[in-house]
Chain A
Amino acid sequence: MRKIFALLLITIFAAGAAFAHGGKSHLLLGTVKLLHENHLVVTSTDGHEVTVTLTATTQYEKDKKPAARSDLKPGARVSVKLTEDDKSAVKVKIGTVPAK
């Protein structure tokens, strides 16, 4: 009886089928090179161009206060917290824009 109960428990706890790989979100430091409707191109500190998708849930911050998508300007230094797949921005912190 105990074995049957154990098997029943295992059955219940094992019937899920979905599988997803985990990972760690990453931080991208760089300068905004291009700004598009739904994404931005950042030149990272090591010189690579990285395209990041901006979604409806992307948060913006400037001077430690909530900011908006409109505060992003080409040339601005940004720190972008990326999703696990490195494609979308979870949070964009906007820093200084060099004077022209």
Chain B
Amino acid sequence: MRRPVKLTLFALAALALVGAAALWRTLRYGFSAHDEPTRMEAWMARAARRWAAPADLRGASNPLALTPQILAEARAHWADHCASCHGNDGKGRTEIGEHLYPRAPDMTLRTTQSLSDGELFAIIENGIRLTGMPGWGNGTAESGYESWSLVHFIRHLPELTPEEIAEMEALNPKTPEEWEEMRAEEEFLSGEGRSATAEPSADHTATTEHRH
């Protein structure tokens, strides 16, 4: 048998063996959203994300001119609709975002920022299949305006200031419990409400037994 044929057969056999081992593991242990996506999955998902954008949008630039008003509107929209998963800073470090499969990405990084305006718009409008990203668009001019505004905000994420984040925190959706917690927190910090009973110490170097 010729050498290239032998090598091909060997590679196919090795591939089949790895596949069989992965299949055995899957059937034995099942799988969950707690797992980290494999490199193969991540590659496939990124490729699918690119293919999902309609051809006429892939290279499109944002038709909306960037103005402070559009950025402010998009910031408020993001805080209300997107931050639950993506976080106000777009880094995905939220309870939902960190438990999605795949995890909500850090959108300040190149993997997101390298997408074209049109690709970002298509993702917002149409969502991404087999992920937690819903399609928000409904084909109307209003929806298009909001999505293109959000594209501007996504481009702004790497330069988001602490002041902007503080402003967005006030706009994030909250449960009645979270409103109550926020009220109690503000009351406590302003000097009202319950205080701790122990006297504070000014000894910065003191050691004490405490709970870890």
Contacts and interface: CB of A to CB of B under 8 A. Distances in A.
Contacts of B34: 18-22
Given A7-B23, A74-B200, A95 B191 contact: yes
Contacts of A87: 212
Contacts of B99: 22
Given A7-B23, A11-B19, A19-B35, A24 B95 contact: yes
A36 interface: yes
Nearest to A51: B210
A10 B201 contact: no
B68 interface: no
Interface of B: 19, 22-23, 25-26, 30-32, 34-38, 40-41, 44, 95, 98-99, 162-163, 166, 181, 184-185, 188-191, 193-198, 200-206, 208, 210-212
Contacts of B40: 12, 15
Contacts of B163: 65-66
Interface of A: 7-8, 10-22, 24-25, 27, 29-36, 41-45, 47-51, 59, 61, 64-66, 74-75, 77-79, 87, 93-96, 98
**Which 7 pairs show the lowest CB-CB distances between chains A and B?**
A95-B189, A16-B35, A43-B196, A75-B200, A14-B26, A14-B31, A31-B196
Contact of A17 (B35, B202, B206): B35
A95 B188 contact: yes
A15 B119 CA distance: 29
A77 B163 CA distance: 22
15 contacts: A10-B23, A12-B38, A12-B41, A15-B38, A16-B31, A18-B35, A18-B36, A20-B34, A22-B95, A24-B95, A30-B196, A33-B196, A43-B198, A45-B193, A49-B211
Nearest to A93: B189
Given A41-B210, A45-B194, A79 B204 contact: no
Given A34-B206, A93-B185, A10 B200 contact: no
Contacts of A17: 35-36
B185 A47 contact: no
B189 A77 contact: yes
Given A65-B166, A66-B166, 17 more contacts: A11-B19, A11-B23, A14-B22, A14-B35, A15-B40, A16-B35, A16-B41, A18-B36, A32-B200, A49-B210, A51-B211, A61-B166, A65-B163, A74-B201, A75-B200, A79-B189, A95-B190
A80 B198 CA distance: 18
A31 B22 contact: no
A29 B201 contact: no
A13 B31 contact: yes
Contacts of B208: 34, 41, 49
